[in-house]
């Protein structure tokens, strides 16, 4: 058996029958809609990118500020070690 089939058409397709399926207004309407969607998509993507970059920059700026404010790192470590020894502090 072949992968294809050959058929014979006895009736020709008339121009008016074909014209029933013609719809340029629909085609151009879809094109406009798609163009608008594409533009909106681009605007959204660029907006998201700017927002992400701004968020990253803000995070790094805040992080560097916090690092500057922190006391000497050696002191902080020794304080934490003391706390883990279950020492009872008298108030």
Partner 1 sequence: MNIIMNNKIIENDRNITQEDIQKEFEAVQRAVKDPAEFQVLYDRYFAAIFNYIFRKIDDEEITADITSQTFWKALKNLKKYKFRGVPFSAWLYRIASNEVNRHYQQTKKRVIFSFDAQEFENLIEQNVEEEHEFDIDFIIKQMRQMSESDIVALELRYFESKNFAEIAFILDITESNAKMRTYRAIDKLRKLLERREA
Distance in angstroms (rounded) separating the CA atoms of residues 43 and 49: 10
Distance in angstroms (rounded) separating the CA atoms of residues 79 and 82: 5
Only segment of 16-24, 41-49, 51-59, 76-84 that touches partner 1 (CB under 8 A): 16-24
Task: Note the helical H segments in 21-72.
Answer: 24-69
Is 39 a binding residue for partner 1 by CB under 8 A? The answer is no
Is 13 a binding residue for partner 1 by CB under 8 A? The answer is yes
Q: Which residues bind partner 1 (CB under 8 A)?
A: 2-10, 12-13, 15, 17-19, 21-24, 26-28, 30-32, 34
């Amino acid at each position: 058996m072949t992968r294809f089939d050959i058929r014979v058409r006895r009736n020709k397709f008339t121009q008016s029958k074909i014209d029933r399926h013609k719809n340029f207004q629909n085609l151009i309407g879809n094109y406009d809609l798609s163009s608008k969607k594409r533009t909106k998509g681009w605007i959204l993507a660029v907006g998201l990118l700017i927002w992400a970059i701004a968020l990253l920059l803000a995070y790094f700026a805040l992080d560097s500020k916090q690092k500057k404010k922190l006391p000497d790192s050696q002191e902080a470590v020794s304080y934490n070690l003391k706390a883990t020894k279950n020492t009872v502090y008298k108030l």
